[in-house]
Amino acid sequence: GQNIDQPTEMTATEGAIVQINCTYQTSGFNGLFWYQQHAGEAPTFLSYNVLDGLEEKGRFSSFLSRSKGYSYLLLKELQMKDSASYLCAVRDILTGGGNKLTFGTGTQLKVEL
């Protein structure tokens, strides 16, 4: 099985930088995703990591350390519209084939003026 931990809530200031951490325990790691979800809406894809290191995409970056079972999502130049829940999701290779994606409970980010 999997265990995914991320903080429940975070607050940051507009224009600042915020780092959202995610730790996981898994037996057949096959990739880690970050999704953004605004209240009442569907999750939307932000980033994917399968190898160690940093993936940068505009104001968003995601880092992975497989040996530590650790990832973070870095949001720069925060904007009010970044207020949302950020979901960490880990994919496992299943015994017998196939993949399974398990989501963390999400980190609710509030961006303040």
Site stretch for other proteins (CB under 8 A), options 13-21, 61-69, 73-81, 103-111: 103-111
Cα distance between residue 69 and residue 48, in whole Å:
15
Site stretch for other proteins (CB under 8 A), options 13-21, 63-71, 72-80, 88-96: 88-96
What's the one-letter identity of residue 15? G
Neighbours of 47 (CB within 10 A): 20
Select from 16, 50, 54, 80 the one that contacts other proteins (CB under 8 A): 50
Q: In the structure encoding, which two tokens stand for residue 69, read together?
A: 């079972």
> Contact letters (x/-) for other proteins, 30-49, by CB under 8 A?
xx-x------xxxxxx--x-
Select from 54, 105, 110, 112 the one that contacts other proteins (CB under 8 A): 105
Q: In the structure encoding, which two tokens stand for residue 73, read together?
A: 């999502």
Pairing of strands 99-103, 84-93: antiparallel
Counting contacts by CB under 8 A, is residue 103 touching other proteins? yes
Exposed/middle/buried for residue 90 (C-beta within 10 Å: 0-12, 13-18, 19+) = buried
The residues of the shown chain that bind other proteins, judged by CB under 8 A, are 30-31, 33, 40-45, 48, 50, 87, 89, 91, 93, 98-106
